[in-house]
Each structure stands twice: as structure tokens, then as C-alpha cells.
Amino acid sequence: MKFWAKAASQKAELYIYDAIGQDYFGDGISAKSVNDALKEFKPGVALDVFVNSPGGNVFDGVAIYNQLVRWGGKKTVHIDGLAASIASVIAMAGDEIRIAENGLMMIHKAWGICAGNDDDMLKYAASLKKVSDTIATTYVSRTKGDAKKIEGWMAAETWMNADEAVERGFADVKTGSKAVKAEFAMLAKFTNVPEQLKRQARLPATMCARMDMRTKHLTRRPAGATA
């Protein structure tokens, strides 16, 4: 089970252990599923959010981030394995962000797929830049870091270990190790994946078929942007 929630009288737990945004097969974590889970919690209780995700759809991720920001109780985000791409934005919603000593974060510029002529491509590029700028603003707001530095890290697709994440303000505390793997096929799309994660990434024939189907359905849709 990759997404679930547990509620008690004074505390609630939300586990985000999958890609963000549902695909054509219903896999992945949608903003709606998170919203439905939050409705089951007692308003204002402390919320622990556990993250192990390679990222995914930008707009589902932004919606999840905003849902968590609006939550009335204290929010503690625990990065158990990986908070990459838009999952790192979701992590920024925590009042406190805790990363396992063997955990990783990754930030990068938004990307997507476009089909069309040169005008279509230019419009899509402009849309992607707006998405990237919005993501950068979220990072700057939470980390209090330098905007130019953060934009540079995003452009370079920067992977951070626990110490680097804390040093740069993307996490507040480094915690003990937690044995959580990050075997996500979509890691194959990234450029600078650390070797230990690259060995875990899997891209079986079924995933290739899914990617092929998704590519055929995507045209020039900013809504398809991922991060």
C-alpha cells in the first residue's frame, strides 16, 4: 500500500509513498485522495506526513502542498527515503521537516511534453518557465535561501543528501536511518540520479507501455508538466 492515512484523537498520519498524480491506470497519489484523507482527521490535530516519492504531476503536487499548508494543526514532514521533484515541494509544507540520515531530496526545473509547431513550442516553454518560477518561490519562502542559488540548483537538477538538505534549509533536522527503498521506475527520466538509486530504478515492459500510452495522449498541455 503506497498511500494511506491513520487518525487518532490527538494525532494523524499521512503516508505519501508513491508518484504524485494518478495515471491512466489509476496509480499514483492525487490531490483529491489527499483531500479525502484530510477530511477524515479531527480538525487541528498534529499531522505527521511521511514522504517517499519521486515526484510527478506539478499541479497535483501544488494542490497537495496547499492543502497541507492550510491544515490547522502542527505539520511535521518526515522524508523517509526520497522527496524528489514536486514531492520536495510538498515537503516544504511542514512546520518542521525531518530527513532520515540516508534520505535524499532532489529539485529541478519543470519539464513536460509538447507537440506542435514552433509557436506551440515557444508557448509551452513560457508556461514551463512560469511553473519553475512558482516552484522556486516556494523553495525560497520555506528555506529563506538566495533565489538565484536555488534557481541554479533547479537548473542543474540537484540531489541533496540529509546534511546538504539541512545546510541549505530544505530540512530542519537529520534523523536516524529508516530502511525505506525508493524503487520508482520514473527515476529513469532524471539526469543526475545518484548511483545507489539508479541501481534501484526499474523500467519493465509494462512501464514502457504506460509511458508510450501517456505520450500518445499528451499534446501541448501545461497541465501535463511534471516536477
Residues with a catalytic annotation lie at: 85, 108
Among candidates 49, 25, 23, 27, which has minimal Cα distance to 37?
49
Chain centroid offset of residue 42 CA = 25
Cα–Cα distance between 70 and 78 in angstroms, integer? Answer: 18
| 3-state secondary structure at position 202 | coil
In the chain, the amino acid numbered 21 is G
Given a contact cutoff of 8 angstroms between Cβ atoms, the answer to whether 48 and 76 are in contact is yes
Q: Where are the alpha helices (DSSP H) in 58-161?
A: 58-70, 86-91, 118-143, 147-155
Among candidates 48, 174, 193, 35, which has minimal Cα distance to 99?
174
**CA dist 131 → 90, 122, 165, 180, 227 (Å):** 15, 14, 22, 30, 9
